[in-house]
Amino acid sequence: MDLFDPSSGEQVHDFNADIADNGLFWTIQIPDSALTVSKNLKTASLHLENVQIIDSFTFLGEHSVPATVSFDITWVGSGARHHYKPGSSDPTDPTNFNGKFRNAVATGSFSGSNADGFSFTSDPGASSAGVFAEIGIEKNGSFIS
Amino acid sequence: MRARSSMPLVVGLAVAIALVLPGAAMAVDATPKPIPGGIQIPGGPLIHVFAPGPEDQGFMGENVEPNTITDFNGFSAMAYIVGTATDADGNTYNMVNDMRVYRGTYVSEDGSILHGTFGFI
């Protein structure tokens, strides 16, 4: 979750789940109850409160402080499903997965604070419209080899 | 992969060993494994994440892995959410959030076949 100074364009906060010792990037386990998915896989909602992460201030910034974020996100998929089949057997290739996704629009509200006393709340209207979002199912690694 | 038939066996073995050797309870390492590929930062680390999305917007294409976890089978969603935010002093910021969520079966670091929900923040 990145905040930028609107005047200079410089990044001033980077709220993220940190990189684990095994290299897992910005990914943490969350309660199963935080995520609700419709049976037809066309909509989903994610609600999390007071998640303990860090603020590294810039992307991969070397200095970080403890931080907390809360957010609500809703995905609404539309159109046909795209079936992405593995484009390579190289496990490091970005197409090495099998997925069925619909394009989507996601909207959300976010808030956070860090140990320095900084806090923020997103303004209404935050959305993926005009950028990119998707919702679906996928397999990778040993599930496709 | 026969995930459902393996899970009871893993749990059963853990319970059996804990009963026979009380001080030797088997801990399961539930940590997911990162995808082996990723983006090489110039002069920096390889970060185990890709950037799916329209190439004409600077992303890597839509047929690109959105997950950060490997050996995974399940639900996946992602979004680049943009907007503005305001701090406690009334200052406004441009906000860009890459948010992803995954729920499904995965093979953890110690080879256990587990089920979980994960957020990419």
Q: Is B5 on the interface with A (CB under 8 A)?
A: no
**Residue of A71, A128, A144, A145 to mutate when probing chain B, most B C-beta within 10 A:** A128
Nearest to A5 among B50, B93, B101 (CB): B93
**Phi and psi torsions of B22, nearest 5°:** -55, -30
Residue B99 forms beta bridges with which residues? B79
Asked if residue B103 belongs to a domain, the reply is yes
* CA of B38 vs chain A CAs: smallest distance (Å): 7
User: Domain spans of chain A?
Assistant: 2-143
Asked if residue B59 belongs to a domain, the reply is yes
As a whole number, mean pLDDT of residues B90-114 equals 98
B38: containing domain: 30-120
Cβ within 8 Å, pair A24-B75: no
pLDDT band at A25 (very low <50, low <70, confident <90, very high): very high
pLDDT band at A10 (very low <50, low <70, confident <90, very high): very high
Q: What percent of chain B has pLDDT over 70?
A: 78
Q: Is B3 on the interface with A (CB under 8 A)?
A: no
Provide ipTM, 2 decimals. 0.98
pLDDT at B12 over 50: no
Q: Confirm if B109 and B31 have CB atoms less than 8 A apart.
A: yes
Nearest to A91 among B37, B64, B120 (CB): B37
Asked if residue B63 belongs to a domain, the reply is yes
As a whole number, mean pLDDT of residues A111-127 equals 98
Residues belonging to chain A:
145
pLDDT in tens, B15-72: 444 444 444 456 678 999 999 999 999 999 999 999 999 999 999 999 999 999 999 9
As a whole number, mean pLDDT of residues B108-113 equals 96
Closest alpha carbon to B78 in A67, A131, A97: A131
Total domains present in chain B = 1
- SS3 string of B78-106? EEEEEEEEEECCCCEEEEEEEEEEEEEEE
Asked if residue B10 belongs to a domain, the reply is no
Nearest to B37 among A13, A94, A128 (CB): A94
Q: What value does the CA radius of gyration of chain A take, rounded to a whole number of Å?
A: 17
